[in-house]
C-alpha cells in the first residue's frame, strides 16, 4: 500500500470539478484498503492521539462562512476498533497513543475522503500531529510504516502552501501569488531529489517563506508521509498539481 500527502481543501473543493476528478482518479488507482489513517493539519495535540473508533464517527465542522449545506454533510464510516488496536500496537509501551473517544473527523479528513471514497465503507481514524519538528514526524512516519503491510492507507493531509492571510483574489482559478508558486516549485524540486534535509529546512531555505506558511501545520504532515516510505532515498511522485485559490494543491505519493 502506498502512502499519500494530500492537499485537502475546504468544503468548496466538493464543487470543483477538476480537483474532484483528480482525487477520484487517484483513489481509483490505489489498492483496496483495509483501513485509512489520516493525519490532518487541523488536529494538533500531544501526545499522539487517535480519534473515536466507533461506527459512524461524527464529523467536525471546523470552518465558518460557507453554505449551510456543508454543515449537514455526513460520512458514516464503519467501526474502526480493529484499526485502532493495530495503530496502537505500533507505539511503544512507554509512549502509548492516546485514544480520544469523543473526537470526530475534521474537514482535513472528511472533505477529501468524501470525494475519494464516497461509499464511506472503509474504517477511518485520525491521528493528531504531536509536534511540528520534521525529524520527530519522520520518526513517527517510520513507526507507522508497517501499517502499509496490513493494507492501511497512511495519509498526511495539509496543503503545500497555505498563506490565507496574504490572498487578495479568492476566486478558485486565481493566479498564484509569487510566494505560493515559488514555494511550490521549490518543494516539488526537493521532493523530486528526495532531499529530506532541504524540505526539513523550509523555514530558512524555502523561497516564499513565511508567506507560504505563516503557521506550519499544513506543511508538516508531509514528513509523516515521507517517513512512512519504504525507502526514503526514492523520490515521491507528484500525483496532483496546480493551484486552488492561488494555493498549491500539489499532492505526493510514496512507495
Indicate whether 217 pLDDT > 90: yes
Residue 151: pLDDT band with limits 50, 70, 90? very high
Task: Tell the burial category of 141 from Cβ atoms under 10 Å away from its Cβ (0-12, 13-18, 19+).
Answer: buried
90 vs 180: CA distance, rounded Å = 36
Per the confidence metrics, is the pTM higher than 0.95? yes
pLDDT at position 143 over 90: yes
Torsion of CA 170, 172, 176, 180, to 10 degrees: 80
198: which residues sit within 8 A by CB, 6+ positions away?
190, 205
What average pLDDT is seen over the chain? 96
pLDDT band for position 140 (cuts 50, 70, 90): very high
pLDDT surpassing 90 at residue 117:
yes
| pLDDT of amino acid 111 | 96
CA gap 122, 247 in Å, rounded: 29
What value does the mean pLDDT take over residues 152-157? 98
The pLDDT tens digits for 20-77 are 999 999 999 999 999 999 999 999 999 999 999 999 989 999 998 888 999 999 999 9
Q: What integer pLDDT is reported at residue 160 of this predicted model?
A: 98
**pLDDT value at residue 59:** 96
pLDDT of residue 66: 87
Average pLDDT over residues 160-170: 96
pLDDT of residue 130: 97
If you count them, how many residues does the chain have?
255
pLDDT at residue 12 is higher than 90 = no
DSSP per-residue letters across the chain: --EEEEE---GGGGG-HHHHHHHHHHHHTSPPPSEEEEEETT-B-SS-EE---STTPPB-----SS-GGGGG----PPP-HHHHHHHHTTS-TTSPPEE-TT--B-HHHHHHHHHH-TT--S-EEEB-B----HHHHHHHHHHHGGGGGGTEEEEEEE-S---GGG----STTPPPPHHHHHHHHHHHHHHHTT-HHHHHTHHHHSTTTTTS-SS-TTTTHHHHHHHTSS-TTSPPEEEE-SEETTEE--EEEE-
Per-residue pLDDT, 10: 86
* pLDDT on residue 57: 87
Instruction: Kindly tell me if the per-residue pLDDT of 153 is higher than 90.
Output: yes
Q: 3-7 and 251-254 as β-strands: parallel, antiparallel, unpaired? A: antiparallel
- Which residue has cell 517517513? 227
| Distance (Å, whole) CA 134 – CA 224 | 8
User: And the C-alpha cell for 25?
Assistant: 482518479
Distance, CA of 131 to CA of 117 (rounded, Å): 29
Instruction: Quote the pLDDT of residue 64.
Output: 87
Q: Is the pLDDT of residue 9 over 90?
A: no
Say if residue 238's pLDDT is above 90. yes
What is the predicted pLDDT for the residue at 5?
98
For residues 119-137, give the mean pLDDT.
98
DSSP β-ladder status, 243-244 and 124-126: unpaired
- pLDDT, tens digit, for every residue of 70-113? 999 999 999 999 999 999 999 999 999 999 989 999 999 999 99
Amino acid at each position: 500500500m502506498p502512502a499519500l500527502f494530500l492537499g485537502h481543501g475546504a468544503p468548496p473543493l466538493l464543487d470543483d470539478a477538476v480537483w474532484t476528478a483528480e482525487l477520484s482518479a487517484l483513489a481509483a488507482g490505489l489498492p483496496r484498503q483495509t483501513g485509512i489513517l489520516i493525519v490532518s493539519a487541523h488536529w494538533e495535540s500531544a501526545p499522539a492521539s487517535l480519534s473515536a473508533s466507533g461506527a459512524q464517527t461524527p464529523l467536525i465542522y471546523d470552518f465558518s462562512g460557507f453554505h449551510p449545506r456543508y454543515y449537514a454533510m455526513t460520512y458514516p464510516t464503519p467501526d474502526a476498533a480493529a484499526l485502532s488496536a493495530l495503530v496502537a500496537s505500533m507505539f511503544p509501551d512507554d509512549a502509548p497513543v492516546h485514544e480520544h473517544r469523543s473526537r470526530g473527523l475534521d474537514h482535513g479528513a472528511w472533505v477529501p475522503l468524501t470525494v475519494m471514497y464516497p461509499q464511506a465503507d472503509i474504517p477511518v481514524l485520525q491521528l493528531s500531529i504531536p509536534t511540528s519538528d520534521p525529524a520527530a514526524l519522520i520518526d513517527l512516519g517510520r513507526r507507522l510504516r508497517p501499517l502499509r503491510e496490513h493494507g492501511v492507507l497512511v495519509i498526511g493531509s495539509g496543503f503545500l502552501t497555505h498563506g490565507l492571510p496574504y490572498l487578495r483574489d479568492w476566486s478558485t482559478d486565481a493566479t498564484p501569488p509569487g510566494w505560493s508558486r515559488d514555494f511550490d516549485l521549490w518543494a516539488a524540486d526537493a521532493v523530486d531529489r528526495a532531499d529530506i534535509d532541504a524540505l526539513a529546512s523550509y523555514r530558512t531555505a524555502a523561497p516564499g517563506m513565511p508567506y507560504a506558511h505563516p503557521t506550519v501545520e499544513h506543511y508538516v504532515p508531509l514528513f509523516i508521509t515521507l517517513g512512512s516510505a519504504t525507502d526514503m532515498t526514492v523520490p515521491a511522485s507528484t500525483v496532483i498539481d496546480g493551484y486552488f485559490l492561488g494555493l498549491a494543491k500539489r499532492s505526493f505519493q510514496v512507495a
